[in-house]
Structure 1
Amino acid sequence: MSDVTGALQIYGNAIKYMRESGLESEIDWQRTACPEVLTESAFLRETAWVILCSGFREAVVRQIFDYVSLCFCDWESAEAIVESSTACVLSAKSAFRNESKLNAVVNVARIVERLGFEQLKSDILHEPIRTLRQFPFIGPVTVWHLAKNFGFNLAKPDRHLIRIAQHFGFENPHAFCSAIAEVRGDPVKVVDLVIWRFLADHPREKAVALVAR
């Protein structure tokens, strides 16, 4: 049986943690993210972020992402990145040495340039998961992360959320986040972010123990 009370308690603790840690801007960003107003620059930035974070600790990528952004023309356009692709990768390698991922970011820009951003955006709005899976390093789990970052109201099935959902007796992270969202009135995507940040910043055992506080 699903433990909604326990899920709500850990969500309350997670909200408190984010407020006390000065992380409310992350909540505001996720709450206002909307796929209908997605721009080419935001698409390139968020896709690069998810690619670089795949298999890496988010905190590590966060430390170097501003520099990588500058190396990739500050995500001005796909055309600008494609035209300067060699220089983009070479300069970014000084901070992020995974060249295959850096080349993947260039390939994302090539796909955007080939399709045209307006057509791509239309495809994303119509079939987000299927459309986003065409991009390198965007797999069956990371595609949900990317779609959520664009503002789609869903939960991503990453290891933190899968474990906590199972701990409280839910079938999957979306069911877990939806149960909290229904009571608290927050969007599923915000619940996902708040719980994920709390668990990412605490070992799982400590996070679960905090439920009792």
Structure 2
Amino acid sequence: MTLEEYFYYRLMVTELDPDMMEKVATKTPPTDATDFALRVSYVILNSGMKWTVAKDIWTRMKLSLIETGEVGDTFGHPGKKKSINQVMSNRSAYFEGFRSAWQNGPDAVIELCETLPHIGVITKYHLAKNLGLDLAKPDVWLERVAARSGGSVQELCRRLSNRSGDSVSTVDYVIWKACQQGWWGMQGQTPLGSETDSS
């Protein structure tokens, strides 16, 4: 993907969602154990689920987590429910582990994320982003765009970030949204007619 293509998609995304740039800005790290546990819980809930569905469930679940420390009857998936309750009940220890990992750099944070309940090899990047790292989540759509551009997801997003001045998280979201909306890769071509970027 070229910088020109990225700017084209970014314009389309901002027209679709004017508040996008603010929403996808790199997050600050969690401030306490409950803040940390809520961010982990949201990612667990959201994994493998449409965000529109997860958003409605999260509205109910977050209140229960804050008030009681448990999912309660706000959600029925037994595996996710168990994992979220585990994170909430052990949030102080998990948060201390996160604080230690944060001092050791991004790789340590990503490694820590994968040790948490219900967090896998792809989801750990989603969580790491929500915990304050400026990186991309290499989901299937971004993998396809990166493969056509001749590199990894992180390389693609970092390159476009450096050239555009946008955060890696913003670049990640723009590309993801372009794919989700069906704008990228229509009949093997981007809207601007270029398939690769060798630079």
Question: TM-score normalised to the size of structure 1?
Answer: 0.77
Distance in 2, Cα, partners of 1:54 & 1:159 = 13
Once the two structures are superposed, residues 20-61 of structure 1 have per-residue CA deviations (whole angstroms, 9 ceiling, x without a partner) of: 12342x4223325122x5433332222112111212222221
CA contact (8 A) 1:47 1:146 kept: yes
Question: Which sections of structure 2, spanning at least 5 residues, go unmatched?
Answer: 194-199
Which residue identity does 2:97 align to in structure 1? L
Q: Answer 1 or 2: which has greater helix percent.
A: 1
- Describe the SS at the equivalent of 2:120: coil
Note if 1:61 corresponds to 2:54: yes
Note if 1:148 corresponds to 2:129: yes
Instruction: Give the stretch that moved more between structures: 203-212 or 136-145.
Output: 203-212
Which residue identity does 2:159 align to in structure 1? A
* Correspondence for 2:156 among 170, 176, 179: 176
Note if 1:98 corresponds to 2:65: no
Distance in 2, Cα, partners of 1:64 & 1:198 = 25
Match of 1:3 in 2: none
Match of 1:14 in 2: 9
Which residue identity does 2:17 align to in structure 1? G
Which residue identity does 2:63 align to in structure 1? L
Shift, 1:116, TM fit:
6.3
Match of 1:123 in 2: 100
Q: How does 1:14-53 map to 2 (within 5 A)?
A: 14-24=9-19, 26-35=20-29, 38-53=31-46
Percent identical among aligned pairs is 24
Inter-CA distance 207–176: structure 2 relative to 1 (3 Å threshold):
farther
Distance in 2, Cα, partners of 1:60 & 1:210 = 29
Which residue identity does 1:12 align to in structure 2? F
CA contact (8 A) 1:30 1:151 kept: no
Alignment RMSD: 2.4
Shift, 1:141, TM fit:
0.9
CA contact (8 A) 1:31 1:189 kept: yes
Question: TM-score normalised to the size of structure 2?
Answer: 0.82
What is the number of residues matched between the two proteins? 189
Distance in 2, Cα, partners of 1:207 & 1:120 = 46
Distance in 2, Cα, partners of 1:116 & 1:16 = 39
Distance in 2, Cα, partners of 1:130 & 1:50 = 16
